Amino acid sequence: MFQHRPTTRLTRTLAALALATAALPPAALAQTAEAPVPSLTAGPDDVMRILPTELLAAVRQPCHGIKIAAPAWDAQLDASAKLLLTLDQPAVPAGQATLPRAMLCPAPSALAAAWTRAAEQANNLVKLDFPGAPLQTAGADGKQASAITGASFIGLKGSRVLVVNQSAQPVRVRLGTWVSKTARLDQYTEQPGAAKPPRIEHLQRPLDAQDAQGVLLPPKSLSVIG
């Protein structure tokens, strides 16, 4: 004989769950929902700057005989973001258009590869702005600053964009005409674990149709598009 008892139990269980969910405060329901990925559009932040020649010279300097351990990935991202801000000046003070040597060695260094690819064909730079980007505390004064920093490196063969995502969440950025539709994406993220120096994963692929809606930047990542 067909028994309805299991169905009745299931109905009662579902009704109890519905009542329990209805009793939850709105804040509790919000916590259970996945936060949407921020979607940003890159725009020019200032005028075009001349790219100092010392930048690539320092990045390409060989590491032979240099025995130093690369610092934490967070520190490398922070140094990259600060260098982008430093380069956004009419005249960069001598010796400041470089990354710390400890971050470029031992070779191969993720930072050296990323910065070389971004700037190797460039003569000029335009810092990019990302309105609505997640904020982070920057500096000892506790001020809030954008967790997304980027710039377009411009040369005779086009533009390559370097973007730093220092936030702990993924972010999608639309780059529009700053890069061509046939551009290549290089992304660097830290692998899980406590390795020293940190193990950095390198993803490389051409842009596809989905990237037209925005390139996804993983949390704590460095990306070069172009």
Number of structural domains (the chain) is 1
pLDDT per residue as tens digits for the range 14-72: 455 455 545 555 554 444 456 688 888 988 876 899 999 999 999 988 888 777 777 89
Asked, for residue 112, whether it belongs to a domain, the answer is yes
Asked, for residue 46, whether it belongs to a domain, the answer is yes
Asked, for residue 28, whether it belongs to a domain, the answer is no
Residue 162's DSSP bridge partners are 151, 224
Asked, for residue 6, whether it belongs to a domain, the answer is no
pLDDT per residue as tens digits for the range 105-162: 888 899 999 999 999 999 999 999 999 999 987 766 778 889 999 999 999 989 999 9
pLDDT per residue as tens digits for the range 172-205: 999 988 888 889 999 999 998 777 777 899 999 9
Asked, for residue 201, whether it belongs to a domain, the answer is yes
Residue 4 Cα distances to 10, 13, 189, angstroms: 10, 14, 54
Residue 180's domain comprises 36-225
Q: Of 46, 71, 40, 63, which Cα lies nearest the Cα of 165?
A: 40
Residue 119's CATH number: 2.60.40.1180
**Under a CB-based contact definition with an 8 Å cutoff, are residues 129 and 43 in contact?**
yes
**Tokens 């702005």, residue located:** 129
Residue 50 is predicted with a pLDDT of 95
Asked, for residue 114, whether it belongs to a domain, the answer is yes
Compute the Cα dihedral for 170, 171, 174, 178 and give only its sign. negative
Looking at every residue in the chain, the average pLDDT score rounds to: 84
Asked, for residue 22, whether it belongs to a domain, the answer is no
Asked, for residue 24, whether it belongs to a domain, the answer is no
